[in-house]
């Protein structure tokens, strides 16, 4: 089953229904989008000679055209490689090379940044909305390609403990199951219901494009393409029954924005991807009413491990309301979830251990990385690297991330990647990067450095090699880093020490 069939069918039966919204207006209906997608797919297959399973990257900021490009890739039987638009040129280069993408669609603003880093395997870099893109839309349409359920649909780039991004292979079956799960357990979508994409479509928000196409909702992008609270509220005003996926830091910014908000126009604000302070969840509930839901998942099981329903979040009279509010909810119907010890044995209720899961929503493995696939999918269960505990009623509370990943403003930062850049400076003998809790960003990146490098030079070094949001916000110079007998740096001790600093 090819995911593109949902759009194709909408084009046949609901041609006049709005499909894409841009700012305050309807940009295209389902008939137009289905026709443009069939032509773009025709260009990919016939003009570029791409074959079933070939990868096509999308390195773009949010836009309505993003939806068209994604569907054209699937319509043509190809696999999409959505790439975070905030990455550095070299990071784009790595993902393009690792995925073996033959074609990359890029925002016009990113084209110049990507071109110098394009690997030899990349045959074409096409600016979305540019002259060549328009010519592709004049190609002859092709029928939707046949796909097996296990065919690759989306290579979802995440990072592993090695710090290098890995491509989680999400098949048509995985994304279809995740779409059904969303509609059944998070947010019911009726024809014409809008979803506002304010978080990146290359990540969490993009996963909600498909259920909205399945139900003939409207995929909407604000004109800024990003997250501006005032603009978001304006979108709510003009698009009744809007849903939106937001990182907890985004929800917090909405709560703090003084703009007048017509809450009744909000269908659901789904938060996830990082922990939310209970106090912040309460404030969001005060402001928006019973319109909030939470999801917990990761790229390898895209947003589909547990969910805390709108009813649970709003049920203030329940005796365990606060406990539930601080949890990540209950397992989705489509997935087995277990908390296990180091030997993968299930732990009793209340005990904390690694969260494992199994089901149709779990990735097929990592792209061209059999070792990492075998380790992460050991025994048929996805090993999330997250530590959590179930309560007696099946609510899962997340305790910590076993990986030392930092989540700053909803974006992931892998310490090792930053450490490697810092260590390039001659004045840095050792470096260890941790996350420091922060009310505004969730966490901020902090670098512990042994050496005498000027912070301004370290900043410049980071800006030359990695995305801006990964740059440390603070440098702490120390005599030595805490280490164990094997010489491994003890980040837990470092974090404890960091808490004692007077800031």
Residues at the contact surface with ligand AMP, assessed by CB under 6 A: 158, 272-275, 294, 296, 298-299, 328, 384, 386, 398, 401, 412
Cβ distance to ligand AMP smaller for residue 298 or 357: 298
Q: What are phi and psi of 378, to 5 degrees?
A: -50, 130
**Closest separation between CB of residue 298 and ligand AMP, Å?**
3
Cβ distance to ligand AMP smaller for residue 401 or 495: 401
Hey, what are 286's tokens? 């005060």
Q: Kindly give the residue spans of alpha helices, DSSP state H, lying in 278-405.
A: 278-288, 310-314, 321-325, 370-376
**Closest separation between CB of residue 211 and ligand AMP, Å?**
18
Interatomic CA distance for residues 10 and 30, integer angstroms: 6
Query: Could you tell me how far CA 155 lies from the centroid of its own chain?
Result: 12
Q: For residue 415, give the nearest of 403, 437, 433, 401 by alpha carbon.
A: 433
Q: For residue 34, give the nearest of 13, 8, 14, 16 by alpha carbon.
A: 8
**Closest separation between CB of residue 464 and ligand AMP, Å?**
25
**Closest separation between CB of residue 198 and ligand AMP, Å?**
16
**Closest separation between CB of residue 207 and ligand AMP, Å?**
10
Query: Could you tell me how far CA 372 lies from the centroid of its own chain?
Result: 20
Hey, what are 13's tokens? 């039966």
Q: Kindly give the residue spans of alpha helices, DSSP state H, lying in 49-171.
A: 64-75, 89-99, 108-114, 131-136
Interatomic CA distance for residues 233 and 239, integer angstroms: 10
**Closest separation between CB of residue 41 and ligand AMP, Å?**
29
Cβ distance to ligand AMP smaller for residue 401 or 473: 401
Cβ distance to ligand AMP smaller for residue 11 or 299: 299
**Closest separation between CB of residue 306 and ligand AMP, Å?**
8
Residue 135 in 3-state DSSP? helix
**Closest separation between CB of residue 246 and ligand AMP, Å?**
12
Interatomic CA distance for residues 151 and 153, integer angstroms: 6
Cβ distance to ligand AMP smaller for residue 277 or 475: 277
Q: For residue 195, give the nearest of 83, 62, 308 by alpha carbon.
A: 62
Cβ distance to ligand AMP smaller for residue 238 or 372: 372
**Closest separation between CB of residue 406 and ligand AMP, Å?**
11
Cβ distance to ligand AMP smaller for residue 210 or 398: 398
Cβ distance to ligand AMP smaller for residue 54 or 187: 187
CB count in 10 Å sphere of residue 380: 9
Interatomic CA distance for residues 205 and 229, integer angstroms: 16
User: Which residue's structure tokens are 């938060």?
Assistant: 271
**Closest separation between CB of residue 205 and ligand AMP, Å?**
12
Cβ distance to ligand AMP smaller for residue 273 or 415: 273
Interatomic CA distance for residues 99 and 165, integer angstroms: 11
CB count in 10 Å sphere of residue 22: 17
CB count in 10 Å sphere of residue 181: 24
CB count in 10 Å sphere of residue 229: 17
CB count in 10 Å sphere of residue 277: 14
Interatomic CA distance for residues 411 and 470, integer angstroms: 9
Question: From residue 95, how far is each of 73, 90, 101, 116, 486 by CA, in Å?
Answer: 18, 9, 9, 14, 33
Cβ distance to ligand AMP smaller for residue 63 or 384: 384
Cβ distance to ligand AMP smaller for residue 139 or 405: 405
**Closest separation between CB of residue 45 and ligand AMP, Å?**
31
Helix axes 415-422, 455-465, angle to 10 degrees: 120
Residue 3 is given by DSSP the state: T
Cβ distance to ligand AMP smaller for residue 265 or 402: 402
**Closest separation between CB of residue 50 and ligand AMP, Å?**
28
């Amino acid at each position: 089953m090819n995911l593109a069939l949902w759009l194709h069918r909408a084009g046949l039966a609901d041609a006049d229904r709005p499909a894409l919204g841009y700012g305050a207006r309807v940009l295209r209906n389902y008939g137009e989008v289905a026709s443009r997608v069939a032509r773009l797919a025709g260009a990919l297959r016939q003009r570029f000679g791409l074959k079933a399973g070939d990868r096509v990257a999308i390195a773009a900021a949010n836009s309505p055209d993003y939806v068209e490009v994604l569907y054209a890739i699937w319509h043509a039987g190809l696999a999409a490689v959505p790439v975070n638009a905030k990455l550095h040129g070299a990071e784009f280069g790595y993902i393009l090379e690792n995925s073996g993408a033959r074609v990359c669609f890029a925002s016009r603003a990113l084209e110049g940044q990507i071109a110098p880093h394009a690997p030899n395997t990349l045959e074409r870099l096409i600016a979305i909305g540019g002259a060549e893109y328009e010519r592709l839309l004049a190609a002859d349409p092709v029928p939707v390609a046949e796909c097996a359920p296990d065919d690759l649909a989306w290579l979802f780039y995440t990072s592993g403990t090695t710090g290098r991004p890995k491509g989680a292979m999400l098949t048509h079956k995985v994304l279809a199951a995740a779409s059904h799960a969303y509609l059944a357990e998070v947010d019911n979508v009726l024809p014409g219901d809008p979803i506002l994409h304010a978080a990146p479509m290359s990540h969490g928000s993009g996963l909600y494009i498909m259920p909205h196409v399945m139900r003939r909702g409207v995929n909407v992008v604000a004109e800024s393409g990003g997250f501006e609270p005032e603009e978001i509220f304006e979108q709510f005003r003009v698009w009744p029954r809007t849903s939106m996926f937001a990182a907890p830091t985004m929800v917090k910014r909405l709560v703090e924005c003084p703009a007048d908000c017509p809450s009744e126009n909000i269908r659901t604000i789904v938060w996830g991807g990082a922990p939310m302070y209970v106090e912040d969840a309460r404030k969001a509930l005060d402001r928006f009413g019973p319109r909030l839901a939470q999801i917990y998942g990761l790229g390898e099981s895209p947003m589909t491990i547990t969910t805390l329903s709108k009813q649970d979040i709003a049920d203030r009279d329940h005796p365990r309301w606060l406990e539930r509010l601080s949890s990540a909810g209950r397992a989705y119907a489509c997935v087995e979830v277990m908390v296990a010890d180091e030997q993968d044995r299930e732990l009793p209720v209340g005990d904390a251990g690694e969260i494992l899961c199994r089901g149709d929503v779990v990735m097929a493995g990592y792209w061209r990385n059999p070792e990492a696939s075998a380790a992460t999918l050991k025994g048929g269960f996805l090993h999330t690297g997250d530590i959590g505990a179930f309560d007696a009623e099946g609510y899962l509370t997340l305790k910590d991330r076993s990986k030392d990943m930092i989540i700053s403003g909803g974006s992931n930062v892998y310490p090792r990647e930053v450490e490697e850049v810092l260590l390039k400076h001659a004045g840095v003998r050792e470096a260890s990067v941790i996350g420091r809790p922060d009310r505004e960003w969730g966490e901020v990146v902090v670098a512990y450095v042994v050496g005498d490098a000027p912070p301004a030079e370290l900043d410049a070094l980071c800006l030359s090699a990695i995305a801006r949001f990964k740059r440390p916000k603070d440098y702490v110079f120390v005599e030595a880093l805490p280490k164990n007998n094997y010489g491994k740096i003890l980040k837990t001790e470092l974090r404890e020490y960091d808490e004692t600093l007077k800031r």
